[in-house]
Structure 1
Amino acid sequence: MTTGTARTVKVLVADDHPVVLDGVTLALQRTSWLDVVGYARTGRDAIAAAARLQPDIVLLDLRMPDMLGPETTAGLLAGTPSLKVILFTAYPDHAAVEAALAAGAHGVVVKDVERADLVDAIRKVVNGERGVTAGIETDAGAVTARHGLGGRGITRREYDILRRVAMGQTNPEIADALGLTRNTVKTYLQRLMEKLGARNRVEALARAHELGLL
Structure 2
Amino acid sequence: MIVDDHPVVHDGVAAQLQRSPDMTVVGHAGTGAEAVTVCAAQHPDIVLLDLRLPDCLAADIVPEVHRVSPDSRVLLFTAFPEHAAVAPTLAAGACGILVKHAGATTIREAIRSVARTGVFRTGTPTASTPAVTAREYDVLRLVAAGHTNLEISSELNLSINTVKTYLRTVMHKLAARNRVQLIANARAQGLL
TM-score range, shorter chain: 0.7 to 0.9
Pairwise mapping of residues 1-214 of structure 1 onto structure 2 (< 5 A)? 12-130=1-119, 132-133=120-121, 136=122, 138-139=123-124, 143-144=126-127, 147-149=128-130, 157-164=135-142, 168=145, 170=147, 174-175=152-153, 177-180=155-158, 196-197=175-176, 200-201=179-180, 203-211=181-189, 213-214=191-192
TM-score normalised to the size of structure 1?
0.72
**d(CA) in 2 for partners of 1:82 and 1:13?**
16
Residue correspondences, number: 190
**d(CA) in 2 for partners of 1:60 and 1:32?**
22
User: Alignment RMSD, CA only?
Assistant: 3.0
| 1:186 Cα deviation after fit | 7.3
Identity among equivalent pairs (%): 43
* C-alpha contact 2:62 2:94 (8 A) present in aligned 1: yes
TM-score normalised to the size of structure 2?
0.79
**Deviation readout 1:132-189 (Å, 9 max, x if unpaired):** 13xx5x256xx24xx1326xxx6663333224556x5755875555223679657855
Q: Which amino acid aligns with 2:27?
A: G
| 1:17 Cα deviation after fit | 1.6
More displaced stretch, 204-213 vs 108-117 = 204-213
Q: Matched residue of 2:25: which SS?
A: strand
Contiguous gaps of at least 5 residues in structure 1: 1-11
Contiguous gaps of at least 5 residues in structure 2: none
